[in-house]
Amino acid sequence: MALTVLRNCSKVLKINVRKFTALPHVSTGVRNKTTIQYATRPDLPKLAYRKLKGKSPGVVFLPGFASVMGGQKAEALEEFCKSLGHSYLRFDYSGCGSSEGEMGNYNIGAWKKDVLYVLDELVEGPQILVGSSMGGWLMLLAALARPEKTAALVGISTAADHFVTAFNSLPIEVRTTSVST
């Protein structure tokens, strides 16, 4: 899975992925991780994130539902970006992982705000958004809301069709209320 992500990113970054297919520190589980940081936002929970400084375009990883920034895909992608010298940011949504809050109190709208905050406040310039599962849906929403901050999109088993299908199966009253808020 991680190798697929690396290959897709390599096309955008215009590098030869064959040089990077053997990452011994990834396969052995020994990684030099970035330090966890917290973004304080007025009237919103603190967001936990890890940031690697480097060149542009940067890469932002958007995990799936109930996934966290410490997952294998997120960590492998950090190692890949580090090997190329590109900036990288991974974070936990509100109520998930090391971020403040309880997951049950948040929804896709709140997590979209988290992604937009990351793009607006924590990174510079256009980013390659890498979305896994639900993160793929959030990646698309963020790209629509911040096209100037989007260099490319890489989806990993994106769940975009699931959300559209689920939304369309809701009663009309609920759909109308959801769209207007």
**What does the pLDDT look like over 87-138, one tens digit per residue?**
999 999 988 888 877 888 888 888 999 999 999 999 999 999 999 998 999 9
Sign of CA dihedral 15, 121, 139, 99: positive
Which domains are delineated in the chain?
A: 2-180 (3.40.50.1820)
Predicted confidence band of residue 169 (pLDDT cuts 50, 70, 90): confident
pLDDT surpassing 60 at residue 180: no
Composition of the chain by helix, strand, coil, percent to 5: 45, 25, 30
